[in-house]
Amino acid sequence: MPASVWGIASDMSSMSRRRQGEVSVTVTAYPDGPLIVRGDVEVVGEDGEPVPRDRATLALCRCGMSSRAPLCDGTHKVAARRRPRVD
């Protein structure tokens, strides 16, 4: 999924708390997998609307084949089996 399809935004109060060290946000890229986002952020879809969140940790799709985009649905696991790995 191209980076232009989704964005990560945060309101000013969250940004202020983050600067003061009260809120921690991490984004971890997993090889051949999603971006794992942990912390107080708002993910905004391509339509500009916030992506509903039901947990503190989100997995964002990077393969572009998720049926739940921008969230990961695990499809990358099937896609990885179809193509040879290049090291």
Q: How many residues does the chain have?
A: 87
pLDDT at 21: 61
Alpha-carbon span 65 to 1, nearest angstrom: 8
Stretch 52-81: mean pLDDT:
88
Q: Which residue has the higher pLDDT, 13 or 68?
A: 68
Instruction: Name the residue ranges covered by the structural domains of the chain.
Output: 3-82
Stretch 58-71: mean pLDDT:
92
Q: What is the mean pLDDT of the chain?
A: 77
Task: Answer yes or no: pTM beyond 0.75.
Answer: no
Show Cβ contacts of residue 27 under 8 Å, excluding neighbours closer than 6 positions: 8, 35, 36, 37, 38
